[in-house]
Structure 1
Amino acid sequence: MRASGILMHISSLPSPHGIGTFGQAAFEFVDFLERAGQRCWQVLPLGPTSFGDSPYQSFSTFAGNPYFIDLDLLEAEGLLEKNEYQGIDWGTDPRRTDYEKLYNNRFAVLHKAFCRGIARDADEIAAFRKKHAAWVEDYALFMAVKTSLNECSWDCWPAEIRLREPEALAEYRSRMADDILFWIYLQYQFYNQWFAVKRYANRHGVQIIGDVPIYVAMDSADVWANPRLFQLDEELRPTHVAGVPPDYFAPQGQLWGNPLYDWDAHRQEGYAWWIERVRAATTFFDTVRIDHFRAFSGYYAIPFGDEDATGGHWEKGPRLELFDTLKDALGECSIIAEDLGDLDADVYRLLEQSGFPGMKVLQFAFDSNWDNAYLPHNHKKNCVVYTGTHDNDTLMHWWATALSPHDRRHAADYICLNEREGLNWGLLRAVWSSVADLAIAPIQDFLALGGEARMNTPSVGTGNWQFRLEGGRLTPALAEKIERMSGLYQRSAL
């Protein structure tokens, strides 16, 4: 079935309280998608963000971001008073998220809701703890200890708790019981609110596509609780970290710094951690996009402590064995493989063996090479085509700044751009008319927004993940225009 959708992260939804949430705007966006004939809503990872605010560097692969808990819904439950959150300065620009103000103010408000709800919701919380015992207890202890140590990374904690000595774990759990309960309560509220949104979307014919980063952050409950599954030394310091090698765009390569998996250890445990991770992701989302798919074939290992990625080397990944194991344990899962970047024959072979759809990005198409796999006439049905991803510039700014005059003329001729329809709509048309089964574009491209609305610039450490949509931009006229184009290319759900 041909289909289409819109990429917009939860944080980008309109909100009067500093960041998008699971409140009214989320339900209204589902209504907009339905009117626009869209079958898919793609979001970024939903985990709690750490330093740098990236959803791809999270404190937990299983937990949700407390910032997304809607305060108005908590007020409606009797857990907050309006004057406890409406008068707070959540930021002055409705188009940007001020993460510093969120960090400084949000948890105090959420703690008020916790104090009112913890006794009332005791039975439900107990059931939640039991259902999610495999991760929530470690995550809550991790956050409680981290908060008590002024957000210090766990690899700098006192040795007894850093190394998870049994007596220390028991002592910290006893001493920090109330703090642990607070972090569990936030997850209870997050899960309740998120799944209300997801159920609403599914009832209205909208499927949720969510992201799973291949790697987890070093400063995460995942690594702290499962050090045996990562390439760490006896003191639990990384031996090698993740990144990508030098290329034309990044002469020093990219040093991501995530700890690498010890794939032999995962194999010996029957990939149990991965089974639980993908099980959780396929519960959160209808379709899972796995980031940096090529590392399952071969991953780039950089010695820990190196200042750049030039000294790295390639190692073999788990390849098809992992996905066969996942299939045996979970059945067929709807997965999209992020297969962008410099790929080799082994990656292409793994993608073909898995059967997962890969990705095509229009912004990578116009280099005057007719063999370019991103040109629409070279697409295959089993793929997902994008105007751009969260890592790309907006269409309008890309067109104005990234293309040479020659490539711009080539693209205009190829797509048959005309002034009457508008530049962004011509480029969207090229994506929607592709033979690819699924077409997706960020909301910024439908609204013809400029570079100020870019979500992320890779390798730039500040100013990312801040884009927010102003209220009133998702008009009936826009929905009608999207639906008309989607219907023209047999992608509309109407």
Structure 2
Amino acid sequence: MNRVAGVLMPISSLPGNQGIGDFGKHTYRLINAFEQAHVKIWQILPLNALGYGNSPYQPFSSFAGDEIYISIDTLADYGLVKQSSVRNCNKFEERVDYDAVRSFKRPYLLKAYKTFLKNFACFEEEYHAFLKKADWLYPYAVFMALKKHNHMELWTTWPKEQKEWIKNRQLPLHEIEDDIRYEQFIQFIFYKQWNEIKAYANAHHVQIMGDIPFYVGLDSADVWQYQDEFLLDTEGYPSFVAGVPPDYFSAFGQRWGNPIYDWNAMAQNRYQFWVKRLAWNAEQFDILRIDHFRAFDTYWKIPASCPTAVEGEWVLGPAYDFFDEIYRQFPNIHLVVEDLGDLRKQVIKLKEHYDLYGMNVMQFEMQPKLLKKKRDEHTILYTGTHDNDTLEGFYLTLSQNQKIALRRYFHNLGYENRSFHDLAIRYCLDSPADIVMIPAQDILGLKSEGRLNTPSTLGSPNWEWKVKNLKGLYDLLPTFGEWIKNSGRG
């Protein structure tokens, strides 16, 4: 791959005019700005239907998109709502209030659905093509309709016949048939808008990097539909849960709570859940980043009864058998993997065997002796990820001596005395790494108010950061583009 640069910017963090970044006009304008600034990759976070804690890594589905990203203005362009009826929702300018935005958008989506039913002939061919391609859609629509019918309760608390509908599909669904059709409509519109954005990005020489969580949430259509492929008890609750042992982020480790895959059962059907998951996402994105790659080699298995991640054990994952099957079915799939942390050498060998791009995060190396180490070309270098503080926020946590040492190091490399985030960004762009990814918050020079997520914490303000408008980013992107060009990444 040629040396390129990209920007990490979640869709939700765009300004929009309806409370959250969505698939509206701001998205297209940002793509135009990326093209002019020689930005070749736009990395986003998962777009799946948000579940617990509004985390994109705990979605209700690995396939379905979240209706919150649907642009109401674009619905008006489709003729599904009247443009004169569309109102702005700018009272949520500073942060994303997910519940408020859902309440704001829901009446428009319901109106669009009713108009869609009346004017179905206008969409019939496109709609049926989508239904044929999205074989996951009907089970997901049933799941969401049943979930809403059960007041959004966890599926393990539903009546027995609903919990087990996926096994025999004999439960009468007459009461919720319209709800099922509504969920199918929402997914049709979501992917119609998203595919238009992706096509626009590709036409403007910008690739989109999607993000796939390694684990899925218990409260998901995935686990409900594939119960035999997870380690669950007789009531559907996890026997073991996922996480990581104590590390840089937490002295008690991270107990994520996701159910663990039954890899033996998955191997028997040649990993069909993962095959379908990757196949669908490979259509939606140009590059796929798989989170928590090391779990394919060894994963941390925590008894569900343990309140923290301290107790657990490393268990062997599917490793080569899994990836051999994936590449047999998808020889041209473009994967990159999150391989951070203290890894055993077998993880590195697994990554290198399939020539996968891994990750380096500059914040984990922010001292001269680590910065001086020889850097691999076949990697993606980040100033920080969605789990890190911003560069300026990180810089404020350093001692005065640490700050002086870093500035002296950058000065000796020929970088003039500028703000810390500028120095770090330019250093990354000049590195040998094939791909450099910079979070938008670091281009903007934001302090900790721009942090997107703090691991091992739940709820607000995680996942809520958004820009009030894009003017600041647009003002800075030309300079960023010059740095990209001068580094040979243009």
Q: Which runs of 5+ in 1 are unaligned?
A: none
Aligned partner of 1:137 in structure 2 is 138
Which residue does 2:425 correspond to in 1? 428
Give how far 1:150 is off: 1.1
- 1:417-454: CA deviation from partner (whole Å, max 9, x where unpaired): 86653321111011101100000101111111111111
Q: 5 Å matches for 1:141-220?
A: 141-164=142-165, 169-220=169-220
TM-score if structure 1 supplies the norm length?
0.94
1:98 is aligned to: 97
Aligned letter for 2:104? N
The answer for unaligned runs of 5 or more in structure 2 is none
Q: How does 1:241-280 map to 2 (within 5 A)?
A: 241-247=241-247, 249-280=249-280
Deviation at 1:93, TM superposition (A): 3.8
Deviation at 1:172, TM superposition (A): 4.3
CA-to-partner distance for each residue in 1:191-244, whole Å, 9 max, x for gaps?
A: 110010000000110000110000011100000000111111222221101001
Moved more, 98-107 or 140-149: 98-107
Could you tell me whether the CA contact under 8 Å between 1:232 and 1:238 is conserved in 2?
yes
Give 3-state SS (helix, strand or coil) of 1:176's partner. Answer: helix
Find the aligned partners of 1:353 and 1:472 in 2 and give their Cα distance: 41
Q: Distance in 1 between matches of 2:85 and 2:304?
A: 45
Deviations 1:226-268 (A, max 9, x none): 0111111222221101001123642221110001111111110
- How far does residue 166 in structure 1 lie from its aligned partner after superposition? 5.6
Q: Kindly state the Cα deviation for residue 91 of structure 1 after the two structures are TM-superposed.
A: 5.9
The one-letter amino acid paired with 1:442 is P
**1:151 corresponds to which letter in structure 2?**
M
Mapped contact 2:73–2:86 kept (Cα < 8 A): no
Give the one of 476, 480, 484 matched to 2:478: 480
Say whether 1:390 aligns with 2:375: no
Asked if structure 2 preserves the Cα contact closer than 8 Å seen for 1:387 and 1:441, the reply is yes
**Change in CA separation of 1:261 and 1:165 when aligned onto 2, cut-off 3 Å:** closer
Residue deviations 1:4-50 (CA, integer Å, cap 9, x gap): 01110111111110111111111001001001111110000110101
Deviates more, 1:273-282 or 1:25-34: 273-282
Once residues 243 and 177 of structure 2 are traced to their aligned partners in structure 1, the CA distance between those partners, rounded to angstroms, is: 38
In 2, Cα distance between the equivalents of 1:310 and 1:218?
Answer: 21
- The alignment partner of 2:339 has SS state of coil
Looking at structure 2, the residues matched to 376 and 477 of structure 1 have their Cα atoms a distance apart, in angstroms, of 32
Report deviation, 1:406.
3.2
Distance 1:6 1:307, change over 3 A: same
SS at match of 2:91: coil
- Alignment of 1:29 onto 2:27: no
Cα root mean square deviation, aligned = 1.8
Q: 1:472 to 1:293 in 2, by over 3 A?
A: closer
Report the alpha carbon displacement of residue 410 of structure 1 after superposing the two structures with TM: 2.5
Letter in 1 for 2:235: E
Aligned to 1:113: 112
> Given the superposition, is the C-alpha separation of residues 184 and 59 from structure 1 closer, same or farther in structure 2, using an over 3 Å criterion?
same
CA distance in 1, matches of 2:361, 2:471: 25
Q: Secondary structure at the match of 2:324?
A: helix
Report the counterpart of residue 128 of structure 2 in structure 1.
126
Q: Deviations over 1:273-311 (max 9, x none)?
A: 211111111111101110000100000001112211122
Aligned partner of 1:104: which letter? S
Match of 2:375 among 375, 379, 390: 379
Identity %: 38
**Cα distance in 2 between the residues matched to 1:59 and 1:438:** 31
The alignment of Structure 1 onto Structure 2 pairs a total of residues equal to 483
Pick from 423, 434, 439 the counterpart of residue 437 of structure 1: 434
- Maintained 8 Å contact 2:11/2:22: yes
Q: 411-420 or 192-201, which moves further after superposition?
A: 411-420
Asked whether the equivalents of residues 443 and 473 of structure 2 are also in contact (C-alpha less than 8 Å), the reply is no
Hey, what does 1:360 align to over in structure 2? Answer: 360
Equivalent residue, structure 2, for 1:464: 462
TM-score normalised to structure 2 length: 0.95
Whole-angstrom distance in 1 between the partners of 2:324 and 2:166: 35
**Cα offset, 1:75, TM superposition:** 1.1
Structure 2 counterparts to residues 197-346 of structure 1, below 5 A: 197-247=197-247, 249-346=249-346
Do the aligned residues in 2 keep the contact of 1:6 with 1:38 (CA within 8 Å)?
yes
Retained in 2: the 8 A contact 1:376–1:430? no
Partners of 1:282 and 1:165 lie apart in 2 by 26
Q: 1:475 to 1:223 in 2, by over 3 A?
A: closer
Tell me the SS of whatever aligns to 1:21. Answer: coil
* Residues 181, 320 of structure 1: alpha-carbon distance in 2 compared, 3 angstrom cutoff: same
Which shows bigger deviation, 474-483 or 241-250? Answer: 474-483
Tell me the amino acid that sits aligned with residue 362 of structure 2: L
Q: State the distance in 2 between where 1:12 and 1:199 align.
A: 21
2:385 aligned partner, one-letter code: T
Query: Partners in 2 of 1:395 and 1:217 — Cα distance?
Result: 31
Amino acid at match of 2:201: A
Task: Tell me the SS of whatever aligns to 1:171.
Answer: coil
* Deviation digits for residues 35-70 of structure 1 (CA, Å, limit 9, x no counterpart): 111111000011010121111110000111111110
User: Equivalent residue of 2:111, what SS?
Assistant: helix
